[in-house]
């Protein structure tokens, strides 16, 4: 099986088997979308209303801003893969609980193992806390971290604020755009180090 087939098989299996309690109230799972052979994997927090309705991540206002940032570095959705820490919408968009995050962890971990991205871009504090606990996003946004995990192995993470944070805050918007522009340079460095 190639990466595309493996990812599709995983997502179908987990849509049947995921034990996350959020499933009960969600319309459907939002597994993720994009290229299974992407070098960049974006990980947000949880699906919102529009994502719950469509089954596709980041289709609302935050997603539009994400598209704008992608195009600022000449990328399209098809070039990357995008998913969330939890695959079901929390009621009223509340924060996902530790139990809900734990229930979706295996799904996320297997997605990462199939895609084997060169870089994982965390969007917002939940994704940051999941992989790099104890760091304050206001201090580490725009920075790359190297971490090793038993399931996913060695991985480079790049920390961003969540695109939704920029919707009503002009200075946050500028910060995100500035941080985003560093991604190609970080990626180039990883490519060089791994060749």
Specify the residue, 58 or 190, whose C-beta has the smaller distance to ligand URA. Answer: 58
Specify the residue, 87 or 190, whose C-beta has the smaller distance to ligand URA. Answer: 87
**What's 171-185 look like in SS3?**
HHHHHHHHHHCCHHH
Enter the DSSP assignment of 73.
Answer: T
Specify the residue, 86 or 114, whose C-beta has the smaller distance to ligand URA. Answer: 86
- Closest contact distance (angstroms) between CB of 148 and ligand URA is 25
Q: Residue for token digits 């991985």?
A: 155
Specify the residue, 32 or 190, whose C-beta has the smaller distance to ligand URA. Answer: 32
- Closest contact distance (angstroms) between CB of 51 and ligand URA is 4
Strand pairing of 81-84 and 33-34? antiparallel
Measure the CA–CA gap between 153 and 117, rounded to whole angstroms.
11
**Residue with smallest beta-carbon separation from ligand URA:** 44
- Closest contact distance (angstroms) between CB of 48 and ligand URA is 4
101: left (phi over 0), alpha (psi -120 to 50) or beta: alpha
- Closest contact distance (angstroms) between CB of 193 and ligand URA is 30
* Cβ contact 122:158 at 8 Å: yes
Q: Any idea of the CA torsion for 15, 36, 128, 185, to the nearest 10 degrees?
A: -170
Specify the residue, 162 or 190, whose C-beta has the smaller distance to ligand URA. Answer: 162
- Closest contact distance (angstroms) between CB of 55 and ligand URA is 11
- E strand intervals along 73-173: 81-84, 119-123, 144-149, 153-160
Name the residues that contact ligand URA, by CB under 6 A: 44-48, 51, 57-58, 60, 62, 84, 164
Specify the residue, 131 or 190, whose C-beta has the smaller distance to ligand URA. Answer: 131
- Closest contact distance (angstroms) between CB of 121 and ligand URA is 12
């Amino acid at each position: 099986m190639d990466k595309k087939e493996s990812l599709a098989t995983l997502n179908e299996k987990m849509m049947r088997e995921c034990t996350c309690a959020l499933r009960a109230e969600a319309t459907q799972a939002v597994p993720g979308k994009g290229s299974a052979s992407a070098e960049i994997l974006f990980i947000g927090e949880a699906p919102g209303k529009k994502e719950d309705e469509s089954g596709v991540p980041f289709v609302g206002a935050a997603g539009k801003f994400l598209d704008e940032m992608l195009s600022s570095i000449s990328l399209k959705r098809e070039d990357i893969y995008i998913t969330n820490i939890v695959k079901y919408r929390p009621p009223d968009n509340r924060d996902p609980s530790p139990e809900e995050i734990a229930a979706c962890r295996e799904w996320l971990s297997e997605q990462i193992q199939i895609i084997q991205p060169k870089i994982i871009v965390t969007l917002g504090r939940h994704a940051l806390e999941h992989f790099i606990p104890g760091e304050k996003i206001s201090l580490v946004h725009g920075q790359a971290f190297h971490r090793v995990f038993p399931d996913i192995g060695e991985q480079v993470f790049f920390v961003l604020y969540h695109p939704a944070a920029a919707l009503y805050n002009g200075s946050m918007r500028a910060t995100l755009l500035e941080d985003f522009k560093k991604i190609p340079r970080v990626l180039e460095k990883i490519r060089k180090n791994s060749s």
